[in-house]
Amino acid sequence: MSFSSLVSDMTFRDRGDREETRSQVSRARSYQSTAATSVSISGDISSQLHGGYSHPLARAWQAERQLTKSMLIYPLFISDQPDEDIPIPSLPNQHRRGLNRLLPFLRPLVAKGLKSVILFGVPIAPGAKDILGTAADDPTGPVISAIKLLRRAFPSLFIVADVCLCEYTSHGHCGILRDDGSLNNALSVDRISDVAMAYADAGAHCVAPSDMNDGRIRAIKLKLIESGIAHQVVLMSYAAKFSGCLYGPFRDAAGSSPSFGDRRCYQLPPGGRGLARRAIVRDINEGADIIMVKPASQYLDIISDAKELGKDLPVAAYQVSGEFAMIHAGAKAGVFDLKAMAFEATEGILRAGATIVVSYFTPEFLDWLSN
């Protein structure tokens, strides 16, 4: 529960109320000894919980961790059209922006306490996509340009670059394909690790491969070591990334839907808890600094698995586009209050074990949170 919602909690009683309650109890002394209340008198002390959370601050202390601004990473869609600024229909309040629109948009957010962003490139120019995803590490492309621009403009902003090929490949898959359409893992890992290096060289504080090819964490870590920058780049693995329909709005935003087939060969099957645990352990052993689980709210058990398996590293959770869109749809239909639901969903993710949340609600949370 957040401090802001606690403050308005109507169950809080001040000292005056308590005096009154006590005197009522003493007047009704005979009632105290009835069978219904005897448990509280005759010794079962552990049954008495209410007192422990009788004050707003005491309620806040029940949470193992409080949601703070520094836990949040905000996703940005960067267009290769410098002046573009267009709303994404399936992602309420989210826009695709070109380089020229970035700083004016981010300046007030940074002033409100925005600490980190994750960048996704969106190539719109005709012919920008090919079978190798060549545009992913184009030195004049949107992501590399945005990394340099943001590093210069906001020295304290932590910049994460999502690393994948699906936004840049003509077929929309997250790697390089064989002639039969299946994923060529070796070529994909080669290419993905080159792209990660290009983003790290451009100044990204963190590279986050979301492609799910086997062995890419090790390949990226080795290249970071070889080029002497492993000590200054965080490697965040999308380790447990489940397939499903919750990425729909994102693919709309990034124009990254596969042109044939789906992502089931590389993203995890929704029931695959064992596979997720193996992927988490593998990526830790391959050199990941942070483990990510996604989607978040549907996989709280996997978040807590990640915390257990990787108890010495931070766990991140991605509250994905579909989760965000569902909360907006529910609020719009009057099913629940947007702010209340955003807090409940995000605090549930923290309770499961994450200390980093990638969320499209970040701008709202900057207004709602005090620290």
Residues of the chain by 3-state class (helix, strand, coil), percent to 5: 45, 15, 40
Q: Is 245 annotated as a binding residue?
A: no
Provide the minimum distance between the beta carbon of 353 and Zn ion in the complex, in angstroms, as a whole number: 25
Provide the minimum distance between the beta carbon of 176 and Zn ion in the complex, in angstroms, as a whole number: 12
Helix (H, G, I), strand (E, B) or coil at 160: strand
Provide the minimum distance between the beta carbon of 124 and ligand PBG in the complex, in angstroms, as a whole number: 17
Q: Give the separation between CA 96 and CA 88, rounded to whole angstroms.
A: 7
Q: 354 is in the binding site of which of ligand PBG, Zn ion, none (Cβ under 5 to 8 A by kind)?
A: none
- Which chain residues interact with ligand PBG by CB under 6 A? 162, 164, 166, 174, 210-211, 247, 250-251, 320-321
Q: Is 238 annotated as a binding residue?
A: no
Provide the minimum distance between the beta carbon of 258 and Zn ion in the complex, in angstroms, as a whole number: 9
Provide the minimum distance between the beta carbon of 350 and Zn ion in the complex, in angstroms, as a whole number: 26
Of the listed pieces 166-174, 221-229, 268-276, 321-329, which binds Zn ion according to CB under 5 A?
A: 166-174
Q: Which is nearer to ligand PBG, 74 or 343 (CB)?
A: 74
Q: 247 is in the binding site of which of ligand PBG, Zn ion, none (Cβ under 5 to 8 A by kind)?
A: ligand PBG
Which 8-state DSSP code applies to residue 71?
G
Which 8-state DSSP code applies to residue 230?
G
Write down the catalytic residue from 115, 129, 221, 241: 241
Give every CB contact of residue 77 below 8 A, 6+ residues apart in sequence: 88, 94, 95, 96, 97, 120, 122, 253, 254
Q: Give the separation between CA 142 and CA 212, rounded to whole angstroms.
A: 23
Q: Give the separation between CA 259 and CA 261, rounded to whole angstroms.
A: 7
Amino acid at 365: F
Q: Is 265 annotated as a binding residue?
A: no
Q: Is 206 annotated as a binding residue?
A: no
Q: 81 is in the binding site of which of ligand PBG, Zn ion, none (Cβ under 5 to 8 A by kind)?
A: none
Q: Is 166 annotated as a binding residue?
A: yes
Give every CB contact of residue 324 below 8 A, 6+ residues apart in sequence: 91, 92, 249, 359, 360, 361
Write down the catalytic residue from 115, 129, 221, 294: 294
Q: Is 166 in the site for Zn ion (CB under 5 A)?
A: yes
Say whether 241 is catalytic: yes
For 80-168, list the strands marked E by DSSP.
85-87, 95-97, 116-122, 158-163
Please give the residue ranges that form the binding site for Zn ion (CB under 5 A): 164, 166, 174
Numbered residues of the known binding site for Zn(2+): 164, 166, 174
Task: Please report, in range form, the residues annotated as the binding site.
Answer: 164, 166, 174, 251, 263, 321, 360
